[in-house]
Structure 1
Amino acid sequence: MEPELVCMDSSGRANGMGVFGGGGLLFTVSLGLVRRLLAPRSEVRSDLQQLFPCELVVGMNGRLWVKSSSVQQTLVIANLLQSCDTMTDQQRRQLFKRVAQGAL
C-alpha cells in the first residue's frame, strides 16, 4: 500500500515531522485548492484559522488532513474546504462570514 500523505522536508527526510497526531480526517480536494492553500499568503488558510484553530496538513497529491478540537468542528472545516474548491474569493468570504456569525 502506498502512503497518501507523508511529512518530509525538502531533502526527503522526516527530520522530526514523520507521522502526525492520531485522529483527524483525511480527504481529497483539487490540486487548484492545494495550490491556493500552499500559497505563502493564503487567504483561505488564514481566514479558516481565524474561524477554527486547527491542524492542517496539505499534500501535493490533493490530500488534506485536518484535525480540530472536536469531531464536529473537524467535519465543518472539511466541508468548508471542500466548498471552497469551487467558489470564488468573494463567495468564500461571504460563506466564512456567515459561519463566523453562526448562521450555518
Structure 2
Amino acid sequence: MPAALPAGRCGAAHPDDPTPCGGPAAVTIADSHGAVVGGCEHHAARMLASLDGARVAPLPAGPAGAAVRVFTAADTLRPFCWIDGPLTLPSQLSRAENRDRDRR
C-alpha cells in the first residue's frame, strides 16, 4: 500500500520539497518505467525536471495548455531544485542550462 500523501499535496510533490501545490491536479507524469502520477502544474514541472525519460500528459478535466506549461517550466528547472549546494555537473543543471553550455 502506497504511503499516504500529506494533506493538501498532490501525487507529484516530492516528500522533501517544501513548496505548496500550485492548484488542483492538472497533468499526469509518467516515468521511464511506466509509473504514472497526477499532479499540480508546479510539482509536475519539478518532477518532470528531476526524472530522465519522463513524459507529461494533460488530464481530461485539467486546464487547457497545462501539459505545455509544465513541459516548458521543467526545461528551465534544475533537477531537485529545492536542494541547496554547488551545482556544476550537467546532471545538476536544467536542460536549458545544458543547452546553453553546449552552444559555447
Same fold, TM-score > 0.5, yes or no: no
TM bracket, shorter-chain basis = 0.3 to 0.5
TM-score by length of 2: 0.32
Higher relative contact order (CA 8 A, sep 6+): 1
TM-score by length of 1: 0.32
